[in-house]
Each structure stands twice: as C-alpha cells, then as structure tokens.
Amino acid sequence: MNHSTLQDSRTLGLLSRVREDIAHLRQDMGNLVQHTTRHTLPLGARELAENARHQLAAGGSYAASRLRSLRASPPRQAIGVIGGAILVAALAGGLYALCRSESCALRREVEDE
C-alpha cells in the first residue's frame, strides 16, 4: 500500500472496523463451536438413542405378536407344511419316473440301432 493511503482517515476507519468484525467473528465462531459440542451434539445423540430404543421396542413388540399368532394356530400351519412337503415329494417322484422311463426308452432305441 502507498504511504498516502494509510494516511486517509476513511481508509483507516474502514480497516479498523474490518479488524473488529474479524475479531467478533472469531469470538462468535468459538462460541458456536463450544455450544455445539457441549449442548447440541449431546442433545441430538440423546434424541437418536431414544428413537433407536423406541424403534427396538416397537420391533420387539411386533415380533412377539407375530410369534404369539404363530403359536395360536400351529395345527393349521403344520397341516399346510406337511401337505406342501407331500406335494413336492409327489412331483419329484413323478418327474423322476418320467425322466427314467424316457431315458430307458432312449437307451433301447440306441441299443436297437
């Protein structure tokens, strides 16, 4: 800067105000960081923990109600599971028999040729 610029009273006044603003900004930033680390973050963490506890309790209640409803009707569900297993076994046996009979028929054709 020129020596004449530093002698201008308006420039000196503006520089002084900027210096004060920067000092206030530093102080405000320090206060903001301090308040955030001491109050805001712990409060947010407590709220998150409470929300997680609430969700876990709700999930536990839902799971317990589902288990109770399964226990209340086991014969009907057991019949369904057993019936499904029998159906799958019958289909598997039929497919095996079908494949075996076609396989035997193909072997006979190959042997006859």
Give the global pTM: 0.41
Output the pLDDT for position 30.
93
- Six token digits for residue 16: 């002084």
Per-residue pLDDT tens over the stretch 88-110 = 889 888 887 777 776 555 555 55
How far is the C-alpha of 5 from the C-alpha of 1, rounded, in Å? 7
Residue-wise pLDDT for 13-72, tens only, equals 999 999 999 999 999 999 999 998 888 888 888 888 888 888 888 888 877 787 677 666
